[in-house]
Structure 1
Amino acid sequence: MKKRLLAIAMATLMGLSLVACSSDKPKTGEKTENVGEGEKASTDYKIGMVTDVGGVNDGSFNQSAWEGLQRAQKELGVQAKYLESKTDADYIPNIEQFVDDDYDLIICIGYQLADALKEEAAKNPDKKFAIVDDQSIEFDNVACLMFEQAQASYLVGYIAGKTTQTNNVGFVLGMATSTMNEFGYGYISGVKDANADANVLQANINSFADASAGKTATNNMIANNADVVFHAAGGSGHGVIEAAREAKIWAIGVDSDQSKDAPETILTSAMKRVDNAVFDETKAVLDGTYKSGVKTYSLSDGGVDIAPTTTNLPEELLKEVEDVKAKIIAGEVKVPNNKADFEAKYGDIYDLD
């Protein structure tokens, strides 16, 4: 009898042990993280983004950056948040909020945040930062994400030069800086190489958040017979697109594929893949491969290009653009991205320096 009772007790203990072990296993469909002792799960990483005054819904590079961070949240599992800057005075408080909340990476969108970031990065050397469109900060904790925007602008300029029926096209700039002028140098170069007879009307509206100024500048160009207008003006570009739509002329978008804003009016867009850069930088923090310094995206790595929506572009012109793109990548066509190189080939025809 004692032997039988002992056997029953042993069997009971083994059953309880199996139940306890099985409770440690994940349920079917439950996501798990392979995390070693002392390591962080991807879901514990917090990535913050500070916009410039254009705001997260600018339809341009702030919005593109947020889309990249949302993709990182979905694919990598990180926590993602943005803070909008209504004025320049918001830059430092927004950065400081992410610092205080112990974010793992703080990404500043646009060169306008450079001074604020420089101050905060110096005060917080243990924090990782990144900035889009500025390479002036040479700190060990700041990654500078740059783009060969002149290359994408050249391609849309080539398209504009081939498309215009009046030999008058326009360029609306949000603000004249060395970085932003690259858009103009590339665009006008592309226009002139495609159509030497074309005239480029130019306007600097000195704002990335003034759609009415963008619209007024474009209407003035339309009054002077422009039938294609390219903007590099952030949120102000909404006014450019609206004026083009009302006048039934072509507009060319910037930074992201803006065709959805006016499907019958947007000829193409000069894309700058800020979304990819933000995603890459987030992944680098997770992988432990984050590096400070300058990283430049170009046509060769898909960092810049024309938009994938090509509904309004003739097939023959698309083939020409692909040939031009290949020549740029091969170094056969050199796109100027500064005043000296531009003027050496085209003369003093850029009015926005």
Structure 2
Amino acid sequence: MIRAGLVVGLMLVIALVLTFLPGGGRGRARANDAKTQSPRPGAPTARVGLVFDIDGRGDKSFNDAAYLGLMRARDELGAEVSYLEPGQSEDREAGLRLYASRNLDLVIGVGFIFSSDVDAVARAYPHVSFACVDYAPGPEGPPPNVAGLSFREEEGSFLVGAAAGLVSKTGHVGFVGGMTIPLIRKFEAGYIAGVKATCPTCEVHSAYAGATPEAFKDPAKGKTLAMTEVAAGADVVYHASGATGHGVFEGARDAHVLAIGVDSDQYDEMPEVVLTSMVKRVDVAVFEAVRSAIEHRFRGGILQLGVRDHGIDYVHEGPHAARLPPAVTARVEELRAGIIAGTIAVPAK
């Protein structure tokens, strides 16, 4: 008896193959359709396929940043790019296999949940290059044709935590994580260290939305967790929870407290509450991965980006940082300089 997950995957592959046939893909695109973006005028220098994380485009965070990097590679490097938005967990490997079977120059999976899928497909297609954002290597390490794109999220979280400690009037701040995994623990660890660096007596209240990937798309749970932390005294709440963070912003708005965004500048999500955002330059990682493939210098292994590499930052300039008092920004910038110089080591757990 064929398993239901396999059936879903096979149906996806069939649907996607039809999309790429002449005349296919016309009309209104479905969630699982592959979209191909034409490069700038001139011969394309590489063909790249990207499969988004579970929330897909429009999350105003992680996936949207990956999209920006992909479009920049198209516009600046001449790459021919395509992308997929999977609707089911079974779609991830099917999407990767579809792109690999077309012998693209680079196939990218966006999100840690792709890690094992990328490894499996990469071993089946050893002559295709793969990259995975937030890659988590298995016991055997990455296959030689896989580049794991990772970040020192704890460093950016440290900086926004320092800002939270300086801004808090109650001496209590909050953290809302998505899925309870080591990756999100890095955000929490850095945030706590940053708070303590500027407010040693501050108390950090932490909570997680769940233990499965669904924890990243549960705004109702995010709002409940944020309100619980506010009830405990928190007047600044930082989230690292994907779409669940929309609920954190709502809770902050209703309780008249401040919130801190993640991955991208999330000020426009709720201007009335966003203090700043921890920015993870997924766009830079995707762009550089494509460029390495174009320049024939792609290498497998783990590439880690932090504050020093301009892969991690926080919003501290312009109108979106208007709620950060100059004295707060000045102190946080001193701490940033310490991270770059190596005099401050930020804990990752």
TM-score range, shorter chain: 0.7 to 0.9
- Report the residue type matching 1:301 in the other structure: D
Aligned-residue offset at 1:46:
2.0
Separation in structure 1 between the aligned mates of residue 58 and residue 102 of structure 2, nearest angstrom: 24
Residue 231 (structure 1) aligns with: 239
Separation in structure 2 between the aligned mates of residue 294 and residue 286 of structure 1, nearest angstrom: 19
Q: Answer yes or no: is the 8 Å Cα contact 2:45–2:77 preserved in 1.
A: no
Aligned-residue offset at 1:95:
0.9
- For structure 1, the residue ranges without an aligned partner over 5 or more in a row are 1-30, 34-40, 339-353
Residue 255 (structure 2) aligns with: 247
Q: Tell me, yes or no, if structure 1 residue 85 matches structure 2 residue 86.
A: yes
Separation in structure 2 between the aligned mates of residue 101 and residue 268 of structure 1, nearest angstrom: 42
Q: Answer yes or no: is the 8 Å Cα contact 1:135–1:145 preserved in 2.
A: no
Q: 1:328 aligns with which of 317, 339, 346?
A: 339
SS state at 1:202 partner:
strand
Residue 222 (structure 1) aligns with: 230
SS state at 2:97 partner:
helix
Residue 273 (structure 1) aligns with: 281
Residue 189 (structure 1) aligns with: 193
Aligned-residue offset at 1:108:
0.8
Q: Tell me, yes or no, if structure 1 residue 313 matches structure 2 residue 338.
A: no
Aligned-residue offset at 1:32:
6.7
Q: Tell me, yes or no, if structure 1 residue 303 matches structure 2 residue 311.
A: yes
Separation in structure 1 between the aligned mates of residue 281 and residue 170 of structure 2, nearest angstrom: 32
Percent identity, aligned pairs only, is 38
Q: 1:180 aligns with which of 169, 180, 184?
A: 184
SS state at 2:308 partner:
helix
Separation in structure 2 between the aligned mates of residue 278 and residue 32 of structure 1, nearest angstrom: 21
Aligned-residue offset at 1:74:
1.4
Residue 134 (structure 1) aligns with: 135
Q: Answer yes or no: is the 8 Å Cα contact 1:135–1:294 preserved in 2.
A: no
SS state at 2:147 partner:
strand
Separation in structure 1 between the aligned mates of residue 153 and residue 225 of structure 2, nearest angstrom: 22
Largest Rg, 1 or 2: 1
Which stretch shifts more, 235-244 or 140-149? 235-244
Separation in structure 2 between the aligned mates of residue 244 and residue 333 of structure 1, nearest angstrom: 31
Aligned-residue offset at 1:68:
0.8
Separation in structure 1 between the aligned mates of residue 343 and residue 270 of structure 2, nearest angstrom: 35
Q: Answer yes or no: is the 8 Å Cα contact 2:236–2:259 preserved in 1.
A: yes
TM-score by length of 2: 0.83
Please list the CA deviations of residues 44-87 of structure 1 after superposition, one character each: whole Å capped at 9, or x if unmatched. 62211112212222222111111111111111121222212233
TM-score by length of 1: 0.82
Aligned-residue offset at 1:192:
1.1
**Alpha carbons of structure 1 residues 248 and 32: separation in structure 2 relative to 1, 3 Å:** closer
Separation in structure 2 between the aligned mates of residue 216 and residue 192 of structure 1, nearest angstrom: 25
Separation in structure 2 between the aligned mates of residue 311 and residue 69 of structure 1, nearest angstrom: 30
Q: Answer yes or no: is the 8 Å Cα contact 1:272–1:305 preserved in 2.
A: yes
Aligned-residue offset at 1:210:
1.2
Q: Answer yes or no: is the 8 Å Cα contact 1:64–1:274 preserved in 2.
A: yes
- Report the residue type matching 1:191 in the other structure: V
**Alpha carbons of structure 1 residues 44 and 298: separation in structure 2 relative to 1, 3 Å:** closer
RMSD: 1.5
Q: Answer yes or no: is the 8 Å Cα contact 2:45–2:294 preserved in 1.
A: no
SS state at 2:291 partner:
helix
Q: Answer yes or no: is the 8 Å Cα contact 2:49–2:81 preserved in 1.
A: yes
SS state at 1:305 partner:
strand
- Report the residue type matching 1:257 in the other structure: D
- Report the residue type matching 2:196 in the other structure: K
Which stretch shifts more, 275-284 or 172-181? 172-181
Aligned-residue offset at 1:106:
0.9
Aligned-residue offset at 1:279:
0.4
How many residue pairs are counted as aligned between the two chains? 300
